[in-house]
Amino acid sequence: MSTSNPHPHLSTPPGAEVADLSSAPLPTERTLRRRQSIPLQLTRFAVFNARMLRMVLKGHGH
């Protein structure tokens, strides 16, 4: 039986290095809660957009 890759577009190119993530740290419970907190994410989204808007306006103001 042939062992062809069912997703050839996801294969690693020849000569490319593959990262070993087995020793990567896992997120803490606090980190997971913060990532899933809708109010916190909405606040972060608004702050990020305000910064981007400020940068754009500053660039157009001369």
Residue 32 lies in a domain: no
3-state secondary structure at position 62: coil
The boundaries of the domain holding residue 51 are: 37-62
pLDDT in tens, 3-37: 566 676 777 778 888 888 899 999 999 999 999 99
Q: Which DSSP string do the residues of 2-61 spell out, in sequence order?
A: ----S-GGGSPPTT------TTSPPPPHHHHHHHH-HHHHHHHHHHHHHHHHHHHHHHHH
Residue 27 lies in a domain: no
Q: What pLDDT is stored for residue 44 in this prediction? A: 97
pLDDT at 48 over 80: yes
Residue 28 lies in a domain: no
Q: Could you tell me the pTM of the whole model? A: 0.55
Residue 15 lies in a domain: no
- Helical pair 29-36 and 38-61, crossing angle rounded to 10 deg: 60
Number of domains composing the chain: 1
Residue 14 lies in a domain: no
